[in-house]
Amino acid sequence: MKPASKFIATFILSGCAWAAMAANNNSTSTLSTIAEQSGFQKTGRYDEVDRLCHAFQASYPKEVRCITFGHTPENRPMLALLATRTDVFRAEDARNKHLPVTLIQGGIHAGEIDGKDAGFLALREALNNTAAKNTLDMQILLFVPVFNIDGHERFAAWNRPNQRGPEEMGWRTTAQNYNLNRDYIKADAPEMQAMLKLINDWDPLAVIDLHVTDGAKFEHDISIQVEPVNSGDLALRQAGKLLRDNVIADLAKSGSLPLPFYMSFQREDDPMSGFVDNVAPPRFSNGYLPLRNRFGMLVETHSWKDYPTRVRITRNTIIAILDQVAQNGQTWLKTAQESDQRASQLGGQNVAVTYKTSGKERDIAFRGYAYTRSMSDISGALMTHYDESKPQIWNVKLRDEILPDAVIQAPKAGYIVPAGYSTAVAEKLRQHGISFRTINADLDNIAVEQFNASKVSFQAQSFEGHQGLKLQGDWAGKKQNVRKGALFVPIAQARSRLVIALFEPLAPDALVNWGWFNNAFERKEYMEAYVAEDVARQQLANDPQLKAAFEKKIAEDSDFAKSPSARLDFFAQRHSSWDNRYQVYPVMRVDNIPQ
Backbone angles phi, psi at 558, to 5 degrees: -70, -35
| Pairwise pLDDT comparison (16 vs 481), residue with the higher score | 481
The pLDDT of residue 17: 55
User: Could you tell me if 289 and 298 are in contact, meaning their C-beta atoms sit under 8 angstroms apart?
Assistant: no
Min mean pLDDT across 1-5, 163-167, 513-517 is at: 1-5
CA distance 366 to 218: 9
What is the distance between the alpha carbons of residues 100 and 512, in angstroms, rounded to a whole number?
Answer: 35
3 pLDDT band, cuts 50/70/90, is very low
What is the length of the chain?
A: 595
pLDDT over 70 percentage in the chain: 95
At residue 468 the predicted structure's pLDDT band, cuts being 50, 70 and 90, is very high
Closest CA to 218 of 151, 263, 176: 263
Whether the per-residue pLDDT at 8 is higher than 80: the answer is no
SS3 sequence of 498-525: HHHHHHCCCCCCCHHHHCCCHHHHCCCC
- Kindly give the residue spans of alpha helices, DSSP state H, lying in 213-371: 234-253, 285-288, 307-343
pLDDT value of position 19 = 56
Predicted local confidence at residue 26, as pLDDT: 40
3-state secondary structure of 476: strand
**Is residue 130 classed exposed, middle or buried when 0-12, 13-18 and 19+ CB atoms within 10 A define those classes?**
exposed
Q: Which has the closest alpha carbon to 481: 509, 449, 507, 442? A: 442
- DSSP code at position 232: S
Chain mean pLDDT for the chain = 94
Please name every residue paired with 396 in a beta bridge, in sequence order, or none if there are none.
Answer: 364
Residues 243, 297 contacting (CB under 8 angstroms): yes
Mean pLDDT of 477-492: 97
Q: Which of 25-29, 433-437, 524-528, 548-552 has the lowest mean pLDDT?
A: 25-29
pLDDT at position 16 over 70: no
DSSP label at residue 105: E
Give the residue from 114, 143, 124, 136 showing the smallest Cα distance to 29. 124
In whole angstroms, what is the distance from residue 277 CA to residue 257 CA? 18
Exposure on the CB side of residue 523, measured as CA atoms within 13 A:
9
* Structural domains for the chain: 3-341+352-357 (3.40.630.10), 362-404 (no CATH), 411-523+583-590 (no CATH), 529-572 (no CATH)
For the stretch 99-141, pLDDT in tens is 999 999 999 999 999 999 999 999 999 999 999 999 999 999 9
Mean pLDDT of all residues in 384-390? 97
DSSP track, 445-472: EEEEEEEEEEEEEE-SS-BTTB--EEEE
Q: Give residue 549's pLDDT.
A: 94
What percent of the chain clears pLDDT 90, i.e. is strictly above it?
Answer: 90
Answer yes or no: is pLDDT of 21 > 70: no
The pLDDT value given to residue 22: 54
Whole-number Å distance between alpha carbons of 195 and 209: 12
Mean of pLDDT values over 153-176: 97
pLDDT for residue 573? 87
Q: CA 329, 137, 291 angle in degrees (round to 5)?
A: 30
Task: From 296, 299, 266, select the one nearest 284 (Cα to Cα).
Answer: 296
pLDDT at res. 4 = 40
Instruction: Considering only the C-alpha atoms of the chain, give the largest distance between any 2 of them, rounded to a whole number of Å.
Output: 95
| Residues in a beta bridge with 414 | 490, 590
Strand 437-438 with 584-590, pairing: unpaired
Q: What is the pLDDT of residues 559-595, one digit of tens each?
A: 999 999 999 989 988 988 888 888 899 999 999 999 8
Nearest Cα residue to 293 out of 193, 433, 401: 433
pLDDT digits (tens, 9 = 90+) for 53-95: 999 999 999 999 999 999 999 999 999 999 999 999 999 999 9
Q: How far is it, in rounded angstroms, from Cα 166 to Cα 252? A: 25
Give the distance from CA 521 to its chain's centroid.
27
pLDDT in tens, 265-283: 999 999 999 999 999 999 9
